[in-house]
Amino acid sequence: MTRTWNPELASREIEALTHLEGALLPVLHRLQEVFGYIPAEAVTLAASALNLSRAEVHGVVSFYHDFRTEAPARLVVRLCQAEACQAAGARAAAAALMGRLKTEFMKVAPDGSVVVEPVYCLGLCAAAPAALIGDRLLAALDGASLCEAVEAAL
Amino acid sequence: MTRIFVPADSLALALGADDVARCLSEELTRRRVKATIVRTGSRGMAWLEPLVEIETPGGRVGYGPVKARDVPSLLDAGLLTGNGHALLLGPVNELPWMSRQTRLVFARCGEIDPLDLEEFRRLGGFLGFERARALGPAETIAQVTASGLRGRGGAGFPAGVKWKSAADTQASRKFVVCNADEGDSGTFADRMLMEGDPFLLIEGMAIAGFAIGASKAYVYSRSEYPRANRIFAQALELARRAGVLGERAFAPGCGFDIELRVGAGAYVCGEETALLESLEGKRGMVRAKPPLPVHHGLFGKPTIINNVLTLASVPWILVNGSDAYAAMGHGRSRGAMPIQLSGMLKHTGLFEAPFGMTLSEIINDIGGGSRSGRPIKAVQCGGPLGAYFPPSLFDTIYDYEAFAARDGLIGHGGIVAFDDSADMGEQARFAMEFCAIESCGKCTPCRIGAVRGQEVIDKLRNGERTQENVALLEDLCQTMKLGSLCALGGFAPYPVLSALRHFPEDFRPRSPEKEQVP
Ligand SMILES: Cc1cc2nc3c(=O)[nH]c(=O)nc-3n(C[C@H](O)[C@H](O)[C@H](O)COP(=O)(O)O)c2cc1C
Ligand code: SF4
Ligand code: FES
């Protein structure tokens, strides 16, 4: 479970990593792990702890697809949309899920319950299509089994 | 005590291996049977996962694919003695997929508990490192060079040449960086190795560090591989405790350590200079070369960057000799390659073999041909930047030069097969879309070109001014090839142009009435 934003905790987490060379990515990962996202205030804290400008830290946060600047949906479904999964029916599986949830990629459900994000390869290509539902890996999916797994996790 | 082996590799887990292991353990307790369950990596036969193995006097016998609900009947039938059952496969090493391979890097993967350091040693682990220490740095590098080993990350650059340049550069600090950013769709060998035999990678990295005179190394992995990262971090900790890493790794006062870093979902960070930027805590922007990383790399210091498979190949070379490695292969592609098969094939997974098979052998004999019953329409080799090959090119020999001669790519060894339900115009569009999403933004042909490419393909598929737009697409691809700093923009045209050349009909409107007058 992620924690609600807490600047003291954030500072402690950052402090524990400042000894690393080039510490910014580990710091951002840690903040997102603890709080679920990287709020603007965290950018300020990380910048001052690492002797960087806020613009530099913001630039890094925005460059990488993983980092979020807003609290995520309660359930994040990462659906592989890369070639090996495409070859095995990932597009149809995605369409089935979108139809069921009445949503589209990257659009958080109005009640904040779920968001479906594309991911480009989970390394499960040999049993495609693959998905990461919360922290559970699933492979050899089709539309029906994907919808079922997502609904069970909701 | 009888040992039962159940994989705990990500792919096996995604197919229910944990449920199988839990059910087995409950049933064994219930039946008051004494047996040990060992969790392993994967053998790489994805269609048989979860593959359960049992130790018998005649070797390890396999059952698969096993579901949790099969466990009681397996035990009833005599799983513990390797007896008959509908899921019985026979001795695992005699399965054609296994017996036809030359497993150098993956020799132990799937067979052992990946975190059992004693078992690793018992099966030859660290012998390569000991050999390197006996040979000394210069002779170690000479062996790697003589083996003909080329980089397995994509570019196929001779590993020994890179190591020698870094060794010859004087500096206060040097670095070894292992590229485990395995972003190519259809590839999973790095992940399997990190999950199935992580000490082998540690050994390869230690040899590299010893050879070039580095005391610190990084592994740059990806966030999409949480399990691989967890296992590798545990392996690092065990190696430190055993003194393999740490202050006395090479000799008293001559230490070596490895730190695991994790990317953040940027494909371009697999490119070696973008990776260095990312390790330094910056945006993953590609650097112009020169200076080369071997002279001016991580934090400005001499750095060798090698793929997981490159580094993991080195222990075998040192133990068995460069001649033995160089004796395998085809043309200038020496040694063996862990080929990764995926898509619409009957048999998907990892198959390690010397270079030199034809694509047809790989697709049809090893991969078993189409799984859907519909004919294979094309294969994409070498990841998202690799060309699509139609069956008319399946006589191509699996070898860096033979592929390059046909505008193809061996890359990191991935082969993705599409059956004839695939729409190659859609695949070409995706190649451009992926390039646009993942572009680091440094050069215009890549950043803007990939967006324009999607628009042009859309127009073609809408039937707008076909001839003109085909010419425009070809021209755009040419500009991207010539004007891009790295292979993301420079190679994205290959899947596009190959799809256009071999499947022009897929770039026309799906329904003829939509066609407009040119
Ligand atoms: C866009 C792009 C992505 C790349 N991704 C990877 C990767 O995920 N893993 C890898 O080892 N090499 C990757 N490479 C190749 C690296 O730049 C580099 O050639 C390689 O890590 C060198 O190691 P090797 O000589 O052992 O292959 C990529 C290159 C480009 C242009
Ligand atoms: S080709 Fe694309 S990814 Fe590569 S350096 Fe240029 S803009 Fe960046
Ligand atoms: S392409 Fe989907 S898991 Fe690799």
Considering the domain architecture, whether residues B382 and B291 belong to the same structural domain is answered as no
Query: What pTM, to 2 d.p., does this model score?
Result: 0.97
- In this complex, do B342 and A84 lie within 8 Å of one another by their Cβ atoms? yes
Classify residue B108: in a domain, yes or no.
no
pLDDT in tens, B475-501: 999 999 999 999 999 999 999 999 999
**Cβ B485 under 6 angstroms from ligand 2:** yes
Q: What is the pLDDT of residue B510?
A: 78
pLDDT at residue B513 is higher than 90: no
pLDDT at residue B43 is higher than 70: yes
Considering the domain architecture, whether residues B451 and B309 belong to the same structural domain is answered as no
Considering the domain architecture, whether residues B154 and B251 belong to the same structural domain is answered as yes
How many degrees, rounded to 5, is the angle at CA B496 between CA B274 and CA B483?
A: 45
Report yes or no: B339 and B362 within 8 Å, Cβ to Cβ. yes
Average pLDDT taken over every residue of chain B? 97
Q: How confident is the model at residue B41 (pLDDT cuts 50, 70, 90)?
A: very high
pLDDT at residue A24 is higher than 90: yes
Average pLDDT taken over every residue of chain A? 97
pLDDT in tens, A28-52: 999 999 999 999 999 999 999 999 9
Report yes or no: B507 and B425 within 8 Å, Cβ to Cβ. yes
A125 → closest Cβ in B188, B280, B430:
B188
Report yes or no: B106 and B352 within 8 Å, Cβ to Cβ. yes
Q: End of a domain among B326, B341, B362? A: B326
The answer to whether A86 faces chain B, any CB pair under 8 Å, is yes
Considering the domain architecture, whether residues B146 and B289 belong to the same structural domain is answered as yes
- Token pair, residue B146, equals 């003589």
**Cβ B289 under 6 angstroms from ligand 1:** no
pLDDT in tens, B248-299: 999 988 999 999 999 999 999 999 999 999 999 999 999 999 999 999 999 9
Percent of chain A whose predicted confidence (pLDDT) is above 90: 97
Report yes or no: B160 and B148 within 8 Å, Cβ to Cβ. no
The answer to whether A124 faces chain B, any CB pair under 8 Å, is yes
Considering the domain architecture, whether residues B281 and B336 belong to the same structural domain is answered as no
- In this complex, do B348 and A124 lie within 8 Å of one another by their Cβ atoms? no
Q: What is the pLDDT of residue B518?
A: 41
Report yes or no: A80 and A119 within 8 Å, Cβ to Cβ. yes
Give residue B183's region: left, alpha or beta (phi > 0; psi -120 to 50).
alpha
Nearest Cα neighbor of B161 from B153, B171, B152, B151 is B151
Number of domains forming the structure of chain B: 4
**Cβ B185 under 6 angstroms from ligand 3:** yes
Q: How far is the CA of B278 from the centre of ligand 1 (A)?
A: 14
Nearest Cα neighbor of B9 from B97, B148, B165, B113 is B113
Q: How far is the CA of B12 from the centre of ligand 1 (A)?
A: 27
State residue B380 phi and psi, 5-degree precision. Answer: -105, 120
Task: Give the separation between CA B409 and CA B491, rounded to whole angstroms.
Answer: 10
- What DSSP line would sit under B117-134, residue for residue? HHHHHHTTTTHHHHHHHH
**Cβ B484 under 6 angstroms from ligand 2:** yes
CATH of the domain at B483: 1.20.1440.230
Q: What is the pLDDT of residue B94?
A: 97
CA distances (Å), origin B33, targets A65, B3, B37: 49, 12, 12
**Cβ B38 under 6 angstroms from ligand 1:** no
Task: Give the separation between CA B297 and CA B177, rounded to whole angstroms.
Answer: 10
Report yes or no: B148 and B188 within 8 Å, Cβ to Cβ. no
Q: What is the pLDDT of residue B353?
A: 98
Say which CATH topology domain A75-153 has: Glutaredoxin (3.40.30)
CATH of the domain at B147: 3.40.50.11540
Considering the domain architecture, whether residues B155 and B296 belong to the same structural domain is answered as yes
The answer to whether A14 faces chain B, any CB pair under 8 Å, is no
A127 → closest Cβ in B49, B350, B438:
B49
The answer to whether A59 faces chain B, any CB pair under 8 Å, is yes
Nearest Cα neighbor of B149 from B192, B204, B97 is B204
Classify residue B381: in a domain, yes or no.
yes
Distance of CA B303 to the CA centre of its chain: 22
DSSP-assigned beta bridge partners for residue B368: none
* Chain A residues within 8 A of B49 when measuring between CB atoms: 127
CATH of the domain at B375: 3.10.20.600
Task: Give the separation between CA B70 and CA B57, rounded to whole angstroms.
Answer: 24
pLDDT at residue B515 is higher than 80: no
A87 → closest Cβ in B10, B226, B343:
B343
**Cβ B440 under 6 angstroms from ligand 2:** yes
Q: To the nearest whole angstrom, how far is the Cα of A101 from the nearest Cα of chain B?
A: 23
Classify residue B11: in a domain, yes or no.
yes
Q: Say if the ipTM goes beyond 0.95.
A: yes
For residues B286-314, give the mean pLDDT.
97
Q: How confident is the model at residue B511 (pLDDT cuts 50, 70, 90)?
A: low
pLDDT at residue B517 is higher than 80: no
Nearest Cα neighbor of B488 from B441, B452, B453 is B441
Q: End of a domain among B284, B311, B326? A: B326
- In this complex, do B349 and A126 lie within 8 Å of one another by their Cβ atoms? yes
- Looking at chain A, the domain(s) classified CATH 3.40.30.10 span 75-153
Query: What is the CB neighbour count within 10 angstroms for residue B380?
Result: 35
Q: How far is the CA of A10 from the centre of ligand 1 (A)?
A: 34
DSSP-assigned beta bridge partners for residue B307: B179
pLDDT in tens, B164-199: 999 999 999 999 999 999 999 999 999 999 999 999
Considering the domain architecture, whether residues B295 and B155 belong to the same structural domain is answered as yes
pLDDT in tens, B364-413: 999 999 999 999 999 999 999 999 999 999 999 999 999 999 999 999 99
Classify residue B8: in a domain, yes or no.
yes
pLDDT in tens, B318-327: 999 999 999 9
Full domain range(s) for residue B367? 330-419
Considering the domain architecture, whether residues B409 and B352 belong to the same structural domain is answered as yes
Considering the domain architecture, whether residues B313 and B189 belong to the same structural domain is answered as yes
Report yes or no: A123 and B10 within 8 Å, Cβ to Cβ. yes
A64 → closest Cβ in B265, B414, B427:
B265
Report yes or no: B418 and B427 within 8 Å, Cβ to Cβ. yes
Classify residue B125: in a domain, yes or no.
yes
Sign, Cα dihedral of B470, B472, B476, B481: positive
Q: What is the pLDDT of residue B512?
A: 54
Ligand 2, pocket-test mutation among B437, B443, B448, B479, most atoms within 8 A of CB? B443
Nearest Cα neighbor of B269 from B441, B434, B440 is B440
Eight-class DSSP state of B362:
I
H/E stretch holding B246: strand B246-251
pLDDT in tens, B108-159: 999 999 999 999 999 999 999 999 999 999 999 999 999 999 999 999 999 9
**Cβ B306 under 6 angstroms from ligand 1:** yes
